Structure 1
Amino acid sequence: MSNFNQKNLMPKIFAIFFALTIWVYVMSEINPRITKDEQNIPVEFLNAEEMLQSGLAIKGETDHTIRVRIVGRRDEVQRITRGQIRATADILGFRPGINNIPVEVTVPGEVEVDWNPRFIRVELEEIISKQKPVNVVIEGAPRRGYTLGELQHEPTVVWVEGAESLVNSVEVVEATIKLSEEFQNINTSYSLRPLNSRKEEVPNVRLQTTHVNVNLPIDQLKTVDINPIVEVTAAEGYEINNISVEPSTVTIRGQQEIVDTVENIDTEAIAINNISENISRRVSLNLPEGIAVVDSTEVNLAITVDSLVEEIFDIARDNINFKNLAPGLRIDTNDIPNELQVRILANETVLEAVNSDNINIIIDMEGLEENQYTVEPVVEVPFLIERRAKEIQLIPKSVNIRVISENS
């Protein structure tokens, strides 16, 4: 039996060698060993929550990455996706300060793995909490004809928790409202962001309150006239020439349903008696409830007075205008003075526009028959003079006339 096995030994050795040769060829040509590099594989920190509970937090950036090299047969290597590569760093047990934390990498399959760096530099700090002010920034503008009211927000401060240096770098916790042609009140909440002095967001800190509730009224604008409420009398020998306010209009603001009902704004009521010179003073506006002004709540009130001057104009008897005399009758004017006088009391500006030519004396003869009468003539002057003159008086006030027949 042993002779038989010895006789077949060499063929068996050659068969095994041939099989090995074929296997090496197949593995080297069809499924060779390859190397694949994956860059920027993120490092996951283990036990971070446990460290937070013990009062420590990572200072600075936590986005650490490494390079991973995978070596193995092509079919094994190619089956490994980037998402299956897990890099971890366990920070449990490390103390405050700068620590070199070892990195571990796991991948599936029968492959060799190498990575760089093997350690990452992490600084741990004690966790603190501080209150920081809340600021609300408004960008943009409301619709034309509207303006922003007084902004209110809650809370006004929030607690910021994290590594000491990071919390100390937070200057303000901020929310941003972006406006675009709004015309209705804003009452909603906005996300908060912790910002440093350069308005950069501070990472790796926690806000006790992540949103701020905002109430932002949007008021309607309207320009209305100002109505001066003044009781004023002039001293003897003077007259009130003009009462005015500057500015004469005011832009008001308020909720639309209130603004729509306002047509003008009164000043505060004042009374001034016996003035003989121009007066200028500041007076307040009497604003309805719910109405505010864009600019000042006071205006300049100006009262101007003019001194009165008396002037007498002579009107010849022949210039009297007798109207509506009945046919067949005539007037005997011998009892009328040769000249009548018209006394006008007014300021100098008014009197400069008056002369005898624009003064008419009229006697209306309507219904008068033959007889002797005492009548009161009417003095007619241009409308503006009549309106602005303090007093117009005819001297004498009445005259005697006789109505007789033309045949007499």
Structure 2
Amino acid sequence: MLENKNVLKIISLIIAILLWVYVMGEVNPDTKEKISDIEVTFVNTETLADEGLAVVHEQDLRVSAIVKGKRSVINEMKKTGLTATVDVADASEGKNRGKVELELPSGVTLDSISDDTISYRVEKSIEVKKTVEIDFVGDAGNDKDLVPWAYDMYPDTVTVTGAESVVNEVDAVRGKITSNVVSESPKTVEVELMAVKKDGTEVQGVVLNHSKAKTTVRLMETRDVDVTITSKNMENGKEVDSISGVDSVKVVGTSEALADLDSVSATVDVSDIKSQGKKELNFSLPTGVYLYNKGNSTEVTVKIKTAQ
């Protein structure tokens, strides 16, 4: 008798499991699910751009939502992710508020959302040109006193476009290259570019007219050389009293290019200096030699006096 009861319990458990599998797999019940960290993006920004305007990008602009639908559809949706957008086509300069729209797959409906509208700001759009800079990361892995170097960059300048306050945060446009891919033989590599602040963090919400650049990389030698400075565009009746601040600079190049190099030439434009001012040097370097200006200032102080 007891044995029959145990058999019945086992059979009942098996039937319950089979029914649960059937309900979950075949009947596919409706369910509710909370989706968090949905990134909000702005659409129709090109309409603003045509009017010389741009959205001030807010970092980590995200919402959460509770959605309803078939379990299988929601599970698949969770794999592909959800998109939330705000249409800015009709926005104007200054503060705006826009409706958050969720792009839901067929069979899924919105139950609730953490923020159905968001506030954002629109500013005048500006553009600036920045010289592309390369950062080498990691150990070059060579036993010689060589440094990785990038040259023959294309493009060597990039236009950065966006809201005025955001573009003004951009210090440089940089790409990163792993040092251990560089050898003593020249190699062409492609690098992803991003706009960064002075502290190296990425500036969100700007557009680069080139997202990638190609450059030649190679391990090269460095050398400290003297600088011979001459002035140009001197006002009549005036002459240089003194130029101070830079006596030598570090340059980089192949061993052949640096073989007999002891000094380099530079000019300083003094056209707008009346008595004293600070100016950047303009270098004239031999072919295959580059200014290794990391941490080195090339600004000089020029003093002007009446010609004797």
Q: CA deviation at 1:182?
A: 1.9
TM-superposition CA deviations, 1:314-341 (whole Å, max 9, x none): xxxxxxxxxxxxxxxxxxxxxxxxxxxx
Query: In structure 2, what is the Cα distance between the partners aligned to 1:86 and 1:184?
Result: 46
Q: CA deviation at 1:91?
A: 1.5
Runs of 5+ consecutive residues of structure 2 not aligned to the other structure: 1-26, 223-253, 264-308
Query: In structure 1, what is the Cα distance between the partners aligned to 2:45 and 2:176?
Result: 31
1:125 aligned residue:
123
Q: How does 1:4-43 map to 2 (within 5 A)?
A: 35-43=32-40
2:140 aligned residue:
141
Q: CA deviation at 1:85?
A: 5.9
Q: CA deviation at 1:150?
A: 7.3
Runs of 5+ consecutive residues of structure 1 not aligned to the other structure: 1-29, 222-252, 256-290, 298-408
Query: In structure 2, what is the Cα distance between the partners aligned to 1:92 and 1:62?
Result: 21
Q: How does 1:288-327 map to 2 (within 5 A)?
A: 292-293=258-259
Structure 1 position 91 matched with structure 2 position 88: yes
Query: In structure 2, what is the Cα distance between the partners aligned to 1:37 and 1:170?
Result: 37
User: Do the aligned residues in 2 keep the contact of 1:219 with 1:254 (CA within 8 Å)?
Assistant: yes
2:111 aligned residue:
113
Change (3 A) 1:55 1:34: same
Q: What letter corresponds to residue 200 of structure 2 in structure 1?
A: K
TM-superposition CA deviations, 1:1-27 (whole Å, max 9, x none): xxxxxxxxxxxxxxxxxxxxxxxxxxx
Q: CA deviation at 1:146?
A: 5.9
Structure 1 position 214 matched with structure 2 position 247: no
Please give the secondary structure, in 2, of the residue aligned with 1:50.
helix
TM-superposition CA deviations, 1:259-279 (whole Å, max 9, x none): xxxxxxxxxxxxxxxxxxxxx
Please give the secondary structure, in 2, of the residue aligned with 1:169.
coil
Change (3 A) 1:87 1:191: closer
Q: CA deviation at 1:122?
A: 1.5
1:64 aligned residue:
61
Q: How does 1:8-407 map to 2 (within 5 A)?
A: 35-61=32-58, 63-70=60-67, 87-105=84-102, 107=104, 108-109=106-107, 113-139=111-137, 140-141=139-140, 143-145=142-144, 147-148=146-147, 152-154=151-153, 155-180=155-180, 182-218=183-219, 254-255=255-256, 292-293=258-259
The structure with higher relative contact order (CA 8 Å, sep 6+) is: 2
Q: CA deviation at 1:158?
A: 2.3
Query: In structure 2, what is the Cα distance between the partners aligned to 1:31 and 1:145?
Result: 66
Query: In structure 1, what is the Cα distance between the partners aligned to 2:218 and 2:111?
Result: 62
Query: In structure 1, what is the Cα distance between the partners aligned to 2:67 and 2:158?
Result: 48
Q: CA deviation at 1:66?
A: 2.1
Q: CA deviation at 1:192?
A: 2.3
TM-superposition CA deviations, 1:66-125 (whole Å, max 9, x none): 222346898998897675866432211011222121223465448662222121122222
TM-superposition CA deviations, 1:351-374 (whole Å, max 9, x none): xxxxxxxxxxxxxxxxxxxxxxxx
Query: In structure 1, what is the Cα distance between the partners aligned to 2:202 and 2:124?
Result: 21
What percent of counterpart residues are identical? Answer: 22
Change (3 A) 1:50 1:143: same
Please give the secondary structure, in 2, of the residue aligned with 1:192.
strand
Q: What letter corresponds to residue 46 of structure 2 in structure 1?
A: E
Change (3 A) 1:96 1:295: same
Query: In structure 2, what is the Cα distance between the partners aligned to 1:191 and 1:77?
Result: 35
Larger Rg: 1
Query: In structure 1, what is the Cα distance between the partners aligned to 2:214 and 2:259?
Result: 27
Query: In structure 2, what is the Cα distance between the partners aligned to 1:183 and 1:120?
Result: 54
Change (3 A) 1:141 1:163: same
TM-superposition CA deviations, 1:174-220 (whole Å, max 9, x none): 22333227221244443322111111111221222333443445458
User: Do the aligned residues in 2 keep the contact of 1:43 with 1:65 (CA within 8 Å)?
Assistant: yes
Query: In structure 2, what is the Cα distance between the partners aligned to 1:149 and 1:105?
Result: 47
Q: Give the length in aligned residue pairs.
A: 203
User: Do the aligned residues in 1 keep the contact of 2:130 with 2:157 (CA within 8 Å)?
Assistant: yes
Please give the secondary structure, in 2, of the residue aligned with 1:103.
strand
Normalising by structure 2, report the TM-score. Answer: 0.51
Query: In structure 1, what is the Cα distance between the partners aligned to 2:56 and 2:208?
Result: 16
User: Do the aligned residues in 2 keep the contact of 1:143 with 1:183 (CA within 8 Å)?
Assistant: no
TM-superposition CA deviations, 1:15-61 (whole Å, max 9, x none): xxxxxxxxxxxxxxx99986433323333433233333333222123
Q: What letter corresponds to residue 191 of structure 1 in structure 2?
A: E
User: Do the aligned residues in 1 keep the contact of 2:54 with 2:125 (CA within 8 Å)?
Assistant: yes
